[in-house]
Structure 1
Amino acid sequence: MKVFEPVVRLMNRLKYAQKFIVIAVVFVLVIASVSFILMQRMNSEITEMEQRYEGASYNTALKDVLQQVQIHRGTSVQAWNGSEDAQSKLASIREQANRALHVLNEQHTKQTYPLHIDEELDAINEQWQAIAEKDRWQDRDELTTLHTNLTTFIIETMLTVSNESSLQLARSPASQNLIATLTKTMPSVTENAGNLRWLGASVLAKEGDMTAQERAHISEKFYLMIEEFATIDADLQRAFTDPDIQAAVQSTYEEATAANELYATMVEQLLNGETANLTSAAFFEAATNTINLQFDLYSTSLAHLTTLMEQQLSELKMNRIMLVLLETLIVLVAMYLFMGFYIGIKRSITTIEQAAISIAEGDLTTSIHLHTKDEMLEIEHAFNKMTTGLQSLVKEIGESSQYVTASSEELHVGVEETTKSIMHVAEMMSDVSEGANEQTARLQQSEDALQHMTNDVAQIVTNSEDVAQLALTTMTLAHDGNDVMQQSSTQMNTIQQSVETTQHMIEALHGRSEQITHILQLITGVAEQTNLLSLNASIEAARAGEYGKGFAVVANEVGKLAAEARNAAHEVGTLVQGIQKDTTTSVQLMGDVTTQVRTGMDLSTTTAQKFEQIVSSMEQLSEQINGIIVNSSQVASSTEQVVTAIDAMKVISTKNMAASTEVATATEQQNASMEEMAASATELATMSETLQTLIQRFKV
C-alpha cells in the first residue's frame, strides 16, 4: 500500500472539487492521448487512402495519354506506309491526345499530395510536343522510336505514381493482385501489343514479306505479350477470389481474353507465314481491339478499385466522425457520472457538516440519514452511534453534577452546624477559662488566709493571752474560709459540668467530622466518576475528529472541574482529618480536665469539711479555751495540710486553665478548618452549578 502513499498525500491536501478536477484532467488527458493516437492513425489511413485515390486518378489520366500515344503511333505508321485513311485520322488522334494530356496537366495542378513527377510530366509534354509538331518523318524507325520512348516513359511514370501514392498497398490480397496487374502488367502488355500492331501491319502491307530483323522483333514482342497475358490471367484469377472484383471485371475480362486469343492467333499465323487470309487493316483492327479491351479492362478494374477506395475513404471518414462523437459522448458521460458522484459526496459531507454544527451548538438529538449504500453508510452509522453515546454521556454527567450539587449543599449545611457547635464549645471553654482564673484567685486568697491563720496559731502558741480574741478572729476567718470553700466547690461543680458538656460536644464534633469524611468520600467518588466520564467524552470527541473539537473543549472543562472538585474534597478531607485529630486530642485533654476537676472537687470537699471542723472547733474554743494550747499544735498541723491542699488545688486550677487554653486554641483551629471547609463546599457548589450550566447547553 506504500506505493499509493504519494497520491494519498496529494489527495488529502485537496478539496473534493479539486480532487475531481485532477481526476477529470487525468481522465481527459488519457482519453485525449488515446484519441490523438487513434486519430493520427485514422488520419494517416485517410491520407494514405486519399493519396492512393489520387494516384489512381493520376494513372487513369496517364493511361488515357498512353492509349492515345499508342494509337497515334500505329496510325502514323499506317500513314507512313501510305494509308490515306490513317493519314486523315492523325489530326483527330492528336487532338484526343492533347485533350488527354491537358486532363493530365490539370490533374497535376490539382494534386493534393506531392508525387514527385514534375520532371516526368514535363518530359512527357516535351516529347509529345516534339511528336505532334513533326510534319515529316525521316524513316519509320524515327517515328516508332520517338513514340516508343514516350510510351515507355509514360509506363515508367505510371509505375512511379503507383509507388509514390502507395497504390499497391491495398487492404486485401485480391485488391493487391488486381493493382499489381494494373500498375505493372497491363500497361506493358498494351505497349507490346501496340508494337506488334504496327510491326505486323507493316509486314502485311508488304504482302507478308518479312525480314529476319522484323521476325525477331515480332517474335520477341509476341512472346513477351503471351507471358504478360498469362501473368494477367494469373493475377486476375487470384483477384477473382473477391466476389465484388469478379462481378465488376469478369465480363470485360472475358471479352479481353477472347480478343487476346484472336490476336495471338493472327500473330502466330504471321510468324508462320500463313498470311493468305490476313490483311494489314484486319491485323491492325484486331490489335487495336485487343489493346482497347486491355485498356477497358484497365479502366474497369481501376474504376472498381477507385469506387472501393471511395467507399473505404468514406468509411474511414465516417469512422473518424464516429470516433470523435464516441469520444465526446464518453467524456460527457464520464463528466456526468463524475458530477453525480461529486454532488452525492458533497451532499453527504454537507449533511454531516450540518449535523456536526448542530451537535457543536448543543443539539445532541441530531442524527443523519445519507440515503446511500457505500462507505458513507458506515460513517452514518458511526456518527449516529456517536451522538447516542454523547447523549448518554451528557445525561450521566448531568445526573452526577446534580448529585454533586446536592452533596455540596449537604456538606455546606453540615459545616455550618459544625461551625456553630465549635463556636459554642469555644464560648464554653472561655467560661471554663474564666472560672479557672477566678478559682486560682480564690485559692490564692484561701492560701493567704491560711497563712494568716498559721501565723495566728503560732501567736496562740506563743501568746495564749490573745487566744480568745484570736479565736474570735479565727472563727470569723473560718466562716469566711468556709464560704469561700463552698463557693469554690460550687465553681468546681460548674467547671465539671462545663467540662463534661464540652467533652460531649467535642465527641459530637468528632462524630460529625466522621460524617463529613463519609460525605467527602462520596464527593471524591463522584469527582472520579465525573473525571472518567470526561475522559470518555474526550475519547468520543477525538473519534469525531474536527467536528468533535467543540465537545472536546466541554469535556476538558468537565475534567478540570472534576479534578478541582477532587482536589477540594481532598483538601477538605485533610482539614477534617486535622479536625478529627484535634477533636481526639481535645477529648483526651477534656478527659484529663475532668479527672483533675474531680480531684479538685474532692479536695474542695475535704477543705470544706476541714473548715467546718475549724468552725466547730472555734465554736468550742470559747468553751475549751484551756485546750487551746494543746490543740494549737493540731490546728497548726491541720493548717499546714490545708495550705498543702490549696497549693495542690492551685496546681490543678492552673492545669485546668492551661487545658482550657489548649482547648480554646484547638477550637479556633477547628473553626478555621470549618471555614476553609465551608469555602471549599461553596467552591464545589459553584463548580457544580457551572457544570450544570455547561450541560444545559446540550439538548438530549
Structure 2
Amino acid sequence: MTILHSIKSKLLGSFSLILIFLVVVGTINFFQMNSIESTYKQLIDGRSTAVSLIKDLSIAINDEKIATNSYLLYADEASLEQYTAAIARYKKLSHQLEAIINDPDEWLLLQGLNLLQIQYTNYAEQMLDLKAQNKTADYMAIGSTNIEPISKKFYEAAQKLTGIQESLLKEGIANAETQTAATQKLSLAISVLAIIIGLTVALWISRSISRPVLLLSNAAKVISGGDLTMQQFKISRKDEIGTLAASFNIMVDHLRRLIQEVGINAEQVAAASQELTAGAEQTTKATEQVVEITGDVTTGAERQLSTVRDGLKAIHYMSEEAEMLSTEAKAVSKEADSSSHLAQEGSLSIRTAIETMRNIEETVSDISREVTVLGERSQDINQLVNVISEIAGKTNLLALNAAIEAARAGDAGRGFAVVAAEVRKLAEQSAASAQNIAGLVENIQEHTMTTVQKVAVGTHVVSSGMDAVLAAGNSFDTIYSSIQGVAVQMAKVTDTSQDISKSTQQLVSTFEHISAVADNTAAGTESVSAASQEQLATMEEITSSASALAKMSEELIGMVNKFKV
C-alpha cells in the first residue's frame, strides 16, 4: 500500500478540493464586503454628516433669530451673548460643511446660504442699533420687510440642499445594494459548484469503500452461521480495504484451526468430568454419615450445656437475691437506727414547737391590738384631710374674690392679682393633695380591716396548730418505742442473710466450674460438626462442578459440531 492509493489520501484530496472552493468563496466575500462597507461608510460619514450639518445651520440661524428677538424685548446682556454665540456656531458649521461637499451645485447652494446669513446678520445689527436708540418702529419695520423674507429664503435653500444630499444618499445606497446582490450571486454560484464537485467526489469514494466492505460483511454473516468452508478473498487493492481483506482471510484460517482443536479438547474434558463425578459422589456419601454422627453428639452436648447454663443462671440469681437481702437488711437496720434518733429528735422538736406556737399566739394577739389602733388613727387622719379640703376650698374662693377685686382696682391691684393667682394655685394643689391623701387613707383602712380579719383567722389557726403539735408529740413518743423494737429484729435478719449469701457464693463457684467443662465439650463437638459440614459442602460443590463441567463439555462438542471445517 502506498500513500497515493490510501483511503486517507483520497479523503484528504477530496476535502482539500472542497476547502479550496470554500476559501475562494470566502476571499471573494471578504473583499466584496470590505468594498460595500467602505461605500456605506462614505455614505454615512459624508452624506449623513452633511444632512446633519445643514440642519444644524438652520438651528443656528433660528437661535440667532431668537436671541435677536429676546434682546429687542428685554435688552439684556445674556441675549446679546447668545446672539454672538449663534453667529460663531454658524460660521464653524459652515466651514465643516464646506470641507465635505464636493459637488459644485451643492457648493453654490452653501455659498447662497452663507450670503443670506450675512444679510440676516447685517439687518440684525441694524435692529440692535435702533433698539439702543429706542427706535422701536424702525427696527420692527426692518424685521417685517427684511428679516422674515431672508429667513424664509434661507430655510428654502437649506431644504433644497438637504434634498440634494438625501438624493445622493439614496443613490449611494442603491449602488451598494446592487453590489451586494452581485456578490451574493457570485458566492451562490461558486457554492453550488463546490457542492456538485463535493457530492461527486463523495459518491466515488463511498462506492470504492462500500463495495468491498459489503463483501466482507456478507462473509462474516456466513461465518456467524458456522460455515468455515468459504474460499479466501482475492482483493488486489493497495489501500486499507486490501489490508482488511488479507487480515480477514488470516482470521478465518485461524478460526478454522481453533474450532478443530476445541472439539478434540472438549471430548477429553467430557471423559475426565464423568470419572470425577463418580468419585465425588462416593466421597459425599461417606461424609454425610460422619455429619449425621457428629450432629447427634453436638445436639447432646448442647442440651447438656443448656441445662448447666440454666442451673448457673438460677444459682447466680439466688446469690444476687441473697446479697440484695443482706444489703437491704443492713440498710433497713441503719434506717431503723436513724429513725430512732430522728424520732427522739422529733419529740424534742415538737416540744420546742409547742413553746414557739405559744409565743406566736401572744404575738398575733399583740398584732391584732396594734392593727385596731392603726384603724382608729387612719380615721383621725381622714377627718384632718376633710378639714384641709374645706380650708383649700375656702382659700380658693377667697383667691377668686381677691382676683375679682384686683381686676376692679386696675393697675393698682395688678400685684395683688398675681398673689391671688398664686394663692389660688396653692389652694388647688392643697385640695388635690388632700384628695390623694384621702384616697391613700381609704386604702389603708381597707387593708387594715383585711389585716384585722386575717389576724383573727391566724389566731384561730395558731390555736389549732397548738392542738396538732401536742398530738404530734404523743405520736412521736409511740413511734420511738416501735422503731427500737424493729431495730432489734432487723439485726437478727442481717446476720441470717449474711450466712445465706456465703452459702450461695460457694454454690456459684461449683456451677461455674461445671459450666466451663460443658462449654469446652460443646465447642469441641461443634468444631468437629462444622468441619464435617464444610467437607460435605465442598464435596457437593465438587460433584456439582463435575456435573456442570460434563454438561458444558457436551454443549461445547455440540457447538463445535455446528461448524463446517
Question: When the two structures are superposed, what TM-score results if normalisation uses the length of structure 2?
Answer: 0.30
**Which of structures 1 and 2 has the bigger CA Rg?**
1
Question: When the two structures are superposed, what TM-score results if normalisation uses the length of structure 1?
Answer: 0.25
Q: Which has the higher contact order (CA 8 A, sep 6+)?
A: 2
Larger fraction in helix: 2
